[in-house]
Amino acid sequence: MKTETLNFFDKVYQVARLIPYGKVTSYGAIATYLGAAKSARMVGYAMNGSGSKDVPAHRVVNRKGLLTGKHYFDGTNLMQQLLESEGVEVVENQIKNLERVFWDPSKEL
DNA sequence: CTCTTGACTGAGG
DNA sequence: GCCTCAGCCAAGA
């Protein structure tokens, strides 16, 4: 038994775990790597279940480097704290030097 | 089955 | 550079 949609979610978790320390990526980058560039929203949607997974969702942001999902962690600055703890500069929920810490799975893998 | 919402992105003004 | 609109796919009511 196999569900393609479920497989997509699973792939998202796999890629998210592959994100190196001190690096971040975008939903679209993951979606594109999975061959579903138009399903970037699904990546974020999949992250909804990341709470029960070992997925470093704090390393996944939108293409602007904005921590859109910080509200889903605890509603405070936990997500930002985690990123800063890895050496990523974050100000006002937005990542600084995004180009420097950006990690593209379709290029790195 | 239909409608709404959503951790997105690209294009246009 | 910022704001708005449309497209995209999946899940919940």
Residue A43 lies in a domain: yes
Task: Considering only CA atoms, name the residue closest to the C1' of nucleotide C7.
Answer: A38
Q: How many domains is chain A built from?
A: 1
Quick: pLDDT tens for A83-107. 999 999 999 899 999 999 999 999 9
What is the pTM for the complete model shown? Answer: 0.91
Residue A1 lies in a domain: no
Closest to A94 measured CA to CA, from A66, A74, A69: A66
Structural domain span for residue A87: 8-101
The Cα–Cα gap between A28 and A96 comes to 19
Residue A3 lies in a domain: no
Nearest nucleotide to A62 by CA–C1' distance? B8
What CATH code is carried by the domain that includes residue A72? 1.10.10.10
Residues 6+ apart with CB under 8 A from A75: none
Residue A45 lies in a domain: yes
Residue A85 lies in a domain: yes
Task: Considering only CA atoms, name the residue closest to the C1' of nucleotide C9.
Answer: A39
Judge whether residue A68 has pLDDT over 60: yes
